[in-house]
Amino acid sequence: MSIWEKLLKYINSKDVGDTIKRRDIIYHIYGGPMPKRYQGSYGSTVDNYRRLLTRLGMLDHSGRGKYELKFHIREDLKLKQLAMLVVHGVKL
């Protein structure tokens, strides 16, 4: 299962309005702290995906490392489609 698929499954397991913590996402995807190989100066893959979801309005930044779930993600939404929505400035 890809990182995107794990993230999608984790976020959709939460109720709309729930607070999702960055730390909890990372622990769910990696089974513990983020491995050093994924830590880089441009942010991790997980952080980049989460940033795309925030820019679309699916997640709302509600504090340091905390995000409120505004909408569930369509199960058939591919990462490429998500990126294209952001590129075209779509806000849900």
| Domain CATH for 9 | 1.10.10
Q: Give pLDDT tens digits for 11-63.
A: 999 999 999 999 999 999 988 887 777 666 556 788 889 998 998 899 999 99
Q: Which residues pair with 20 in a beta bridge?
A: 67
Range of the domain at 39: 3-87
In one-letter notation, the amino acid at residue 88 is: H
Q: How many domains does the chain have?
A: 1
Q: Within a domain: residue 92?
A: no
Q: Is 69 within 8 Å of 15 (Cβ atoms)?
A: yes
**Residue 43 included in any domain:** yes
Q: Is the pLDDT of residue 89 over 80?
A: no
On the question of pLDDT at 78 being above 80, the answer is: yes
pTM: 0.81
Q: By three-state DSSP, how is residue 69 classified?
A: strand
Classified as helix, coil or strand, 67 is strand
In the sheet that holds 19-21, the strands lie side by side as 19-21, 66-69, 59-63
Whether 76 is covered by a domain: the verdict is: yes
Q: What is the largest CA-CA distance in the chain?
A: 35
